[in-house]
Chain A
Amino acid sequence: GAGVSQSPSNKVTEKGKDVELRCDPISGHTALYWYRQSLGQGLEFLIYFQGNSAPDKSGLPSDRFSAERTGGSVSTLTIQRTQQEDSAVYLCASSFGRRGYEQYFGPGTRLTVT
């Protein structure tokens, strides 16, 4: 079956511009996570969605970052006024739930801020 998909696969943007990254989770998965993978910081948790509940935004690094999940399915991560330190690979993962369930990862979006 289809796995987690993310788009675009690569995004180059100028400093100060806004970007939107999209994640399509596996059908039926209620939990959705965003992570960031960067050279200096490794893999970091950003935000968590569970069904229609309010998201856990505790991992977002600044208020320039936001995310939404429409209809309990597709999610969009938005970064406003991008900075060079935002350059990283943004990974999305989905699972049936949080209690020990495997998280399935998408291929990621490589963001480069010039």
Chain B
Amino acid sequence: AQSVTQLGSHVSVSEGALVLLRCNYSSSVPPYLFWYVQYPNQGLQLLLKYTTGATLVKGINGFEAEFKKSETSFHLTKPSAHMSDAAEYFCAVSDGGDGGSQGNLIFGKGTKLSVKP
């Protein structure tokens, strides 16, 4: 079975400050990891994903995340927050069908990011 834990349902940062959103996962097989962003009244948009290879992955809008197997973590960072980054962020894990599922995503509860001017 797989699960995702996002620490902090709400995170508030000042414009220009570092953004760090935490995600820990559990998986019985090598995981596929994703970060999605959801703006109000919109669907989910992929920020970045890790499948295999380089453990530091870069995504859109200046976000990046590092897969750390030893820590079972996939934290999302951005060096300098912008007002437009205010949204809800979801970390998700998939086993790609190797662990008995159909590759469906298991989501964390989400972290709402606020950016103060």
Contacts and interface: CB of A to CB of B under 8 A. Distances in A.
Given A43-B90, A105-B43, A105-B45, A99 B103 contact: yes
Contact of B42 (A31, A56, A98, A107): A107
A87 interface: no
Nearest to B109: A42
Contact of A48 (B32, B52, B102, B107): B102
Contacts, number: 62
Contacts of A107: 42-43
A100 B105 CA distance: 10
A50 B102 contact: yes
A51 B108 CA distance: 28
Nearest to A6: B43
A98 B43 contact: no
Contact of A103 (B52, B105, B108, B110): B105
B6 to A, nearest CB: 10
Nearest to B33: A100
Interface size class of A (residues with CB under 8 A): 20 to 34
Interface string A89-100: 001010001111
Contacts of B44: 91, 93, 105
A58 to B, nearest CB: 8
Contacts of A43: 90, 92, 105, 107, 110
Contacts of B49: 100, 102
18 contacts: A42-B107, A43-B90, A43-B107, A45-B105, A56-B102, A93-B105, A98-B94, A98-B102, A99-B103, A100-B32, A100-B51, A100-B52, A100-B103, A101-B103, A103-B46, A104-B46, A105-B43, A106-B43
Interface of B: 32, 34, 36, 42-46, 49, 51-52, 90, 92, 94, 96-98, 102-110
- List the 9 closest pairs (A to B, CB-CB), nearest first: A98-B103, A100-B51, A43-B107, A48-B102, A45-B104, A105-B43, A99-B96, A105-B44, A100-B32
Interface of A: 4, 31, 33, 35, 42-43, 45, 48, 50, 56, 59, 91, 93, 97-108
